[in-house]
Structure 1
Amino acid sequence: MPNRNKNVDPDQVRAAVDAVVAEMEVIESFGKLIDHIEGMSELEVNRFGVCVVTADGDVIEGGEASHPFPIQSISKVFALTMALEAHGDDVWKRVGREPSGDPFNSIIDLERKKGIPRNPFINAGALVIADMLLDREKPQHEDVAAFLADHIGANDFDVDPDVFDKEAKGGYTNRALANLAKSFDNLHHEVDDVMKLYVRQCAIALTCRQLALAGRYLMLSPSGRKKKISLQEAHRVRRINALMLTCGQYDGAGDFAYRVGLPAKSGVGGGILAVVPHVASIAVWSPGLDDNGNSLLGTIALERLSERLGWSVFGSVPQVGA
């Protein structure tokens, strides 16, 4: 586990980021593009960006860190945070906390569990979380976009209209999941209202820099306007990080934990948000996906960055000759 009192050397992080960016340029396997997200099928699969924001406030970027991409399922982390802020542990009466073992959009397990999704990071779980957000009274943040603007410190990003329109008009599997959850009385609002909120959060387009800034609160360190973190917030973030580690990479969470060793959440837009508790928030982006729907280059980059800097929740390994 990283030492919360250890200062991070920005020069060391810069050297590691530069080395990883150079290595990503020569890797020959990039993964495959997803075709159901507007504009994704035209991208070059070898594009790559990374940004590291440290607890000390240093921002280190590499590659195409300023290229915006739809965050897709990464938005589920922020939606879950908002739901827990509003409803506390009542969230877990309607959503589980276990890895699914099935594809992220599987409908079979939802039927087996009588409308209770396995976890908040599969699509069924995210739809129930969206339903909970519609239940809030006088919320601090209107929606995930407002939450992100507050945590990034600026509202200089957009909801991708093409992505929103295509997924709002389609999304038939998600509608089926929502209807099935509603048939078990685990969706309290109209399916169209839940879908609109869910699709909108998935269509938010951020750069690696913006995503890393948005994830600072997951470091369990004060950031942005906050001078300190309450005990309640700390417990909440620890639990969110635990779920990111066990459920955040679709059906590849175990392999990701083995290789990278950090809490993280991916999205089929090619982004991954990873957290080094008390040390750093990391965002990577590359649109080529592996068989589980995770960014192939992004996962490799995080694995190598973790190795170079000794960043793992399972303990650091001294480098040879150190």
Structure 2
Amino acid sequence: MQQIVDEIAEEMMNLEDKGEVAHYIPQLAKIDPNQFAISVALTNGEIYQAGCAAKLFSIQSISKVFTLTLALGKLGDSIWHRVGREPSGDPFNSIVQLEHEQGKPRNPFINAGAITIADLIMQGHQPKEVLAEIIQFMRYIADDDSIAIDEKVAKSELETGARNASLAYFMSSFGHFENPVEEVLGTYFHHCSIAMNSTQLAKAGLFLANNGVNPITGYTVVSAQRAKRINALMLTCGHYDGSGEFAFRVGLPGKSGVGGGILAVAPGNASIGVWSPGLDAIGNSKLGTKALELLAYKTGWSVFGK
């Protein structure tokens, strides 16, 4: 496994086209695109890494996997009254479908869906209390108390979040929101600004690869059935309008973020964190996707067979 990740890291760094960083968030626009990290956490507790695996990055939309997990833990299947489970086929920040579907987002991983999930988990509490709970959960599943929010990125998100604010107020106009829109947005922008490295990310996703149980700590995070369903949503919706292409090329449940990270899950085998800040045209990590395609090929981990 170490040889595989070393080979992948070397191949990625030798590629000339590394994609474009997310320019619309000023703090992310400053990041050097010539970076790559890969970490593989096996369900037997072994961890393998290559590249700049200790470098912190903003996990952005990958955080939506963990807020969804929290929401399901708090409210169970009642959350599906507020958000759907279907791929959107539209960009992650599209407002078009919301109008056709009376303010109910297609799935919890597009921005509108994740903002709805933030509203659900707040349950009348202040953003600071909710964010403390989210961070505590992230530290618990990754078994790492150093995980925190990057306040500079959060500020950058707040200053440039007009589209997300539009989505939130539009949904609120249908009478769906239970908390003040500004507080929900503050919670959403901050949880997207959690900073992690690829190894922490891989460890955080291990419960999804191991029937809901983190094999390193022995903690049961969710039931096996719930882990299976979160993985199913990651496979069908985790890469926005590029989800079909990711399933075709990689064949693993995965969730991307515009910070350049991807969390991928090989059920029964491993949780994988990759990071490279250059994005493709859809907004997914260009090298991260290529690396996961190579890893799935070399290991035979695709959920569709070897």
Q: How many residues are paired up?
A: 302
Three-state SS of the structure 2 residue aligned to 1:282 is strand
CA–CA distance in structure 2, aligned partners of residues 282 and 133 of structure 1: 27
Q: What residue in structure 2 maps to residue 223 of structure 1?
A: 214
Q: Deviations over 1:106-146 (max 9, x none)?
A: 11111110010000000000010000001189x99953211
The whole-number CA distance in structure 2 between the counterparts of 1:112 and 1:30 is 37
Q: Secondary structure at the match of 1:20?
A: helix
Amino acid at match of 1:150: Y
Structure 1 partner of 2:92: 104
Aligned match of 1:51 in 39, 49, 54? 39
What residue number does 1:284 align with? 274
Instruction: Tell me if structure 2 keeps the 8 A contact 1:141–1:147.
Output: no
Q: 2:54 aligns with which of 39, 62, 66?
A: 66
Where 1:241 maps in the other structure, the secondary structure is helix
Match of 1:124 among 112, 118, 122: 112
User: What letter corresponds to residue 248 of structure 2 in structure 1?
Assistant: Y
Question: Could you tell me how far 1:67 is from its partner in structure 2?
Answer: 0.7
Calculate the aligned-residue CA RMSD, in Å.
1.8
Match for residue 265 of structure 2 among 246, 270, 275: 275
Question: 2:95 is aligned with what amino acid?
Answer: I
Counterpart in the other structure of 1:23:
11
Spell out, residue by residue over 1:33-55, the C-alpha distance to the aligned partner (whole angstroms, 9 max, x if none): 11122432232323100100000
Separation in 1, partners of 2:181, 2:124: 17
Distance 2:242 2:43 in 1: 28
Structure 2: gaps spanning 5 or more residues: none
2:305 corresponds in structure 1 to 315
- Determine the structure 2 residue equivalent to 1:171: 161
In structure 2, distance between residues paired with 1:43 and 1:123: 23
Retained in 1: the 8 A contact 2:124–2:178? Answer: no
Q: Pick from 123, 126, 148 the counterpart of residue 135 of structure 1.
A: 123
The CA distance in 2 between the partners of 1:295 and 1:311, in whole Å, is 20
SS at match of 2:274: strand
Matches of 1:192 and 1:140, distance apart in 2: 14
Q: Is the 8 A contact 2:38 2:273 kept in 1?
A: yes
The alignment's TM-score, normalised by the length of structure 1, stands at 0.90
Residues 236-288 of structure 1: per-residue CA shift (max 9 Å, x gap): 11111000000001110000000000000000000000000011000000000
1:5-59: CA deviations, max 9, x gaps?
A: xxxxxxxx11110110111121121111111224322323231001000000001
Cα 1:191–1:237 change in 2 (3 A) is: same
| Counterpart-to-counterpart distance in 2, 1:197 and 1:47 | 29
Q: Deviations over 1:141-190 (max 9, x none)?
A: 95321110111112212211111112123311111111111111221110
CA offsets per residue over residues 215-238 of structure 1, 9 Å max, x none? 1111124325753749x7111111
**What 5-or-longer segments of structure 1 have no aligned partner?**
1-12, 317-322
Give secondary structure in 1 for the equivalent of 2:14: coil
The question of whether the paired residues in 2 share the 8 Å contact of 1:119 and 1:125 is answered with yes
Using the TM superposition, give the Cα deviation of residue 193 of structure 1 relative to its aligned residue in structure 2, in angstroms.
0.9
Q: 1:153 touches 1:224 (CA, 8 Å); kept in 2?
A: no
Q: Counterpart in 2 of 1:200? A: 190
Given that residues 151 and 224 in structure 1 are in contact (C-alpha distance below 8 angstroms), is that contact kept between their aligned partners in structure 2? no
Q: Is the 8 A contact 1:33 1:287 kept in 2?
A: yes
The residue number in structure 2 matching 1:6 is none
Question: What code does the residue aligned with 2:39 have?
Answer: C
Q: 2-side partners of 1:140 and 1:161: how far apart?
A: 16
Contact kept in structure 2, 1:69 and 1:206, CA below 8 Å: yes
Counterpart for residue 28 of structure 2: 40
Per-residue CA distance 1:184-216 (angstroms, 9 max, x = gap): 122111011101110110001100011111111
